[in-house]
Amino acid sequence: MSRQRILLLFFLASCFAISIIQCTEQKKEDVRGEQYAGEGTCVQCHKEIAQNYIHNAHFNTSKELNAPHATDSLALPEGTFVFNEKTKVGVEKKVDGLYQVAYVNGQNMKQEKLSVAFGAGITAYTFAYWYGNKMMQLPLNYLVHEQQWVNSPGFPVDQIYFGRAIVTRCLECHSSFVQSKLVSAGSLKVEEEYVKNSLIAGIDCQRCHGPSAAHVQYHEEHPTEKRAKHMIGYNQLSRSQKVDMCSVCHSGINLQMLNPIFFFKPGDTLRNLPEYTSYTGEDPDVHGKQKQLLEASKCYKLSNMDCGSCHSTHDDIKPDLAVYSQKCIKCHTQVEHVSLDRGKVSMLEKNCIDCHMPVKVSKDIGFQVSGSKEKIPYKQRTHRIAVYK
């Protein structure tokens, strides 16, 4: 056999091997089970939606920081947080990544690498590190607008704390999946550990649209079929089902489910709700209680509006107040603000929101600043649409 023929056969065999590897990678099993399509499968047919969604806050609500320069895109500076003259936390770049370092009397007592970031970078970032198979919260958060390192909410105000475990209930709303297991930690004590490499960071397509392996298989076998098969469309859901899809994560941490929230699918309904059945005149806290606040709104009670009436979860940019105000005006075409002068009335087309959905201070969260016990309040726009004084 000639040398050229051998080289040709070797080239063809290599191409075939590469194609097999690529197909295998493309068909890589999802850690959630065989009902779920492998990572990246949705992009093949929904490129434009996927391109927009990768910039969306839901997709970026958590990120793994495995590479040495993974934190560069977060624009996190080095810095120091001072508890007192003897106790400080430094944020320092090292060869393999960004670290938070505990200093007591100038000595490095403990250092941990930023391994997971929580938050889309709109308000703040929270960070975690791996302690064996446990995920633990790091002492410092980073406030984006203030460009400040602050003590994590709920942590001691006078000492460095590395001891808060990040439990599955946190990850159920800040990721798409993680496989956990309970392990014995001594007499009558059980702790939660995770299976490494099982974390699916961010909220992916199947978290909201449900498992799609059957959908993908059908449309690969029937490429000319344009109607979605084996997939529940959002518009097919009742209003309560639509709102429940969002409120499974936007009802606060007290929500208790019969099954893991990771597997809540379109069409499911909430079984056990937090205690917010009656509105007493006091707002639920603005952090994480969007469903309760919306349900207390007359707009919600007297219409068929749902979360999607104002929000589009695929957008790559956040609409401004003028865009949201136009959504209000579609329903409120005949509203007269008789108590306002003409100058203020003319502004309403561009901003209904600041008056009827004002920014409020969270009662639950505050960020302690360096060198002080003072706390920067956490502010968020209320979802209780109302006439405020």
In 10 A of CB 289, how many CB atoms? 26
In a domain, 359, yes or no: yes
DSSP 292: H
In a domain, 45, yes or no: no
Same domain, 278 and 372: yes
In a domain, 7, yes or no: no
* pLDDT value of residue 18: 42
Same domain, 107 and 188: yes
Same domain, 86 and 190: yes
**Structure tokens belonging to residue 313:** 């979860």
Rounded to whole angstroms, the Cα distance separating 269 from 248 reads: 9
DSSP 181: E
In a domain, 124, yes or no: yes
Same domain, 190 and 239: no
Rounded to whole angstroms, the Cα distance separating 166 from 187 reads: 22
Query: What angle is formed at CA 255 by the lines to CA 254 and CA 257, rounded to 5 degrees?
Result: 135
Q: Where are the beta strands (DSSP E) in 105-197?
A: 107-113, 116-118, 124-131, 134-137, 140-143, 148-151, 175-177, 180-184, 190-194
Rounded to whole angstroms, the Cα distance separating 16 from 271 reads: 51
The answer to whether the beta carbons of residues 320 and 338 sit under 8 Å apart is: no
Q: Which one of 149, 181, 201 terminates a domain? A: 201
| Domain span at 320 | 232-381
In a domain, 31, yes or no: no
For 296, list phi and psi in degrees, rounded to 5.
-85, 0
Same domain, 86 and 160: yes
The answer to whether the beta carbons of residues 241 and 270 sit under 8 Å apart is: no
In a domain, 20, yes or no: no
The total domain count for the chain is 2
Same domain, 73 and 153: yes
pLDDT of the chain along its 389 residues, tens only? 555 555 444 444 444 344 334 443 445 689 999 999 988 899 989 999 999 999 999 999 999 999 999 999 999 999 999 999 999 999 999 999 999 999 999 999 999 999 999 999 999 999 999 999 999 999 999 999 999 999 999 999 999 999 999 999 899 999 999 999 988 777 677 889 999 899 999 999 999 999 999 999 999 999 999 899 999 888 889 999 999 999 889 988 776 666 788 999 999 887 544 443 444 456 688 888 898 899 899 999 999 999 999 998 888 777 789 889 989 988 888 777 777 766 666 677 688 899 999 999 998 899 999 999 999 999 999 999 998 88
Q: Is the dihedral of CA 6, 12, 15, 20 positive or negative?
A: negative
Percent of residues in the chain assigned helix, strand, coil, to nearest 5: 25, 25, 50
Residue spans of alpha helices (H) in the chain: 3-26, 47-53, 168-174, 205-209, 213-221, 239-247, 290-295, 298-301, 321-331, 342-345, 353-356
Q: Which one of 183, 201, 219 terminates a domain? A: 201
Same domain, 194 and 246: no
Beta pairing partners, 130: 135
Same domain, 187 and 73: yes
pTM here is 0.86
* pLDDT value of residue 342: 66
In a domain, 387, yes or no: no
Same domain, 183 and 298: no
DSSP 119: S
Same domain, 125 and 194: yes
At 292, which amino acid appears? Q
Which residues are CB-contacts of 107 (< 8 A; sequence separation ≥ 6)?
none
* pLDDT value of residue 2: 56
The answer to whether the beta carbons of residues 284 and 273 sit under 8 Å apart is: no
Same domain, 350 and 277: yes
Q: Which one of 201, 220, 241 terminates a domain? A: 201
Same domain, 246 and 356: yes
Which residues are CB-contacts of 111 (< 8 A; sequence separation ≥ 6)?
92, 99, 100, 101, 102
In a domain, 168, yes or no: yes
Write the burial class of residue 286 (CB in 10 Å: 0-12 exposed, 13-18 middle, 19+ buried): buried
